[in-house]
Amino acid sequence: MDFALSEEHQMVQRMVRDFAAREIAPNIKDHDRHQTFDRSILPRMAAQGLLGICLPVRYGGAGMDFISLGLACEELEYVDTAYRVILSVHVGLNGLTLLQWGTEEQKQRYLVPQSLGEKIATYGLTEPSAGSDAVGIQSTARREGDHWVLNGEKMWISLADVADNFLVFAWTDQEKKRARDHTGMSAFIIERSFPGVQTGTIHGKLGVRAGNTGWISMKDVPVPAENMLGREGEGFYIAMSALDNGRYTVAWGATGLIRACLDASVRYARERQAFGVEIGRHELVQQMIANMQLKYDTARLLCLRAGWLKNQGVRNTRETSLAKWHATVSSFECAADAVEVHGAYGYSDEYDVERFLRNSKGAVIYEGSREIQQLIQAQYALGYRKDRPLRCEMPAYDPVVWQQEA
């Protein structure tokens, strides 16, 4: 077993770390305080190849592997969660799902401009009355000739008010909807320009205030039949496979947040004095810092394992779920301890740890809550849950194939 990063991985790590320090860090406090999303960051991320980092070159991507995607997420969230979220939805939930399930025509029409950053994409599963209960969605699609007509509402959608393309899920079989039979759900690619599509931004969030989160309204939206992703009735499987990719990016991002809390706490503990010594000399402060180090190392190892499996083309639902559960819960605990280390100053946005604490809570909930991940792990351990082969599996990473131009 070799846990060392390759030269290419180290290059990605340095590049994204420098980019985040230069392009994000100087203005993040203002964007967080005013709850504004910096749209200008998107073309700058595209120029670095980040919006297609792990997608094949022939589809406009940078042709790098899944560990490179993870490292980029870690470095972005080290500065602020909002910028990792961009990769989670644009690349993880949408782009990789198109790569896995899309037709060649769909990849050329949608994946290529998305990888290049010419179009921004997101993912719409959650609804006002359906979060963890994906089968509880109410959106519907009815067939009319050569197109489908979609109706429904999506809520808590990252980049909702920014994206050009949306991957959404709806019931195409009403009888199966009433029976809660997930084989009646289907997936669709819709464009902002389609009649009947409206979006809005949600304000007043606890955290990720520098990110865009909103809603999507679909009222009699005509969607060409060729914009169905996968086959009719495969929507649930597509949604769950997309979440494998999304949870992977969330886990890596939470790992970056843990490291940010650790670094900030170490720095403050060496600067601040109490009772005549650096507070880092006090054993209870040392205990909190030691726990941060433990949680960072374990989260990172779980992420590396999931990334290695993804590179091999091996199904990694269980491993990614575990990484997401451990890393996100640990990031929340580490952020709370980092505030404690900073004392009263930690309660002020003068220091970053206050923002880290607010940001960390969301990841415990979205893309499968802590409780959902616990159930998943228990079901695997008890033998109640087994992964069945998908019609379209995510291909293994092959650098020759991924970096071919045609």
pLDDT reported for residue 319: 98
Please check whether residue 398 lies inside any domain of the structure.
no
Q: Which two tokens stand for residue 128?
A: 């006002």
Please check whether residue 23 lies inside any domain of the structure.
yes
Whether the predicted pLDDT of 1 surpasses 90? no
% of the chain at pLDDT higher than 90: 98
pLDDT reported for residue 2: 82
Tens-place pLDDT, residues 320-361: 999 999 999 999 999 999 999 999 999 999 999 999 999 999
In this prediction, residue 228 has a pLDDT band, given cuts at 50, 70 and 90, of very high
Q: Which two tokens stand for residue 281?
A: 């000399």
pLDDT reported for residue 183: 98
Of 64, 122, 112, 68, the closest CA to residue 91 belongs to 122
pLDDT reported for residue 80: 98
- Nearest 5°: CA angle at 389, between 166 and 325? 65
Tens-place pLDDT, residues 17-31: 999 999 999 999 999
* Range 83-111 average pLDDT: 98
Of 189, 209, 236, which residue sits at a domain end?
236
Please check whether residue 225 lies inside any domain of the structure.
yes
* Range 70-84 average pLDDT: 98
In this prediction, residue 180 has a pLDDT band, given cuts at 50, 70 and 90, of very high
Q: What interhelical angle do 317-342 and 283-312 show, nearest 10?
A: 160
pLDDT reported for residue 92: 98
Of 221, 236, 251, which residue sits at a domain end?
236
pLDDT reported for residue 38: 97
248 and 207 both lie in a single domain: no
More confident residue, 2 or 193: 193
116 and 136 both lie in a single domain: no
* CA–CA distance, 170 with 173 (Å, rounded to integer): 9
- Active-site position among 77, 175, 367, 393: 367
State the chain's mean pLDDT as an integer. 97
Whether the predicted pLDDT of 34 surpasses 90? yes
- Catalytic annotation present for 127: no
- Domain count of the chain? 3
pLDDT reported for residue 98: 98
110 and 187 both lie in a single domain: no
Give the CATH number of the domain where residue 249 resides.
1.20.140.10
pLDDT reported for residue 25: 98
Residue ranges making up the domain that contains 13: 7-120
Please check whether residue 401 lies inside any domain of the structure.
no
244 and 380 both lie in a single domain: yes
pLDDT reported for residue 364: 97
Tens-place pLDDT, residues 138-166: 999 999 999 999 999 999 999 999 999 99
What residue type is assigned to position 224 of the chain?
A: P
* CA distances in angstroms from 27 to 24, 37, 46, 308, listed in the order given: 6, 11, 19, 34
Give the CATH number of the domain where residue 110 resides.
1.10.540.10
130 and 111 both lie in a single domain: no
193 and 272 both lie in a single domain: no
pLDDT reported for residue 406: 76
Please check whether residue 399 lies inside any domain of the structure.
no
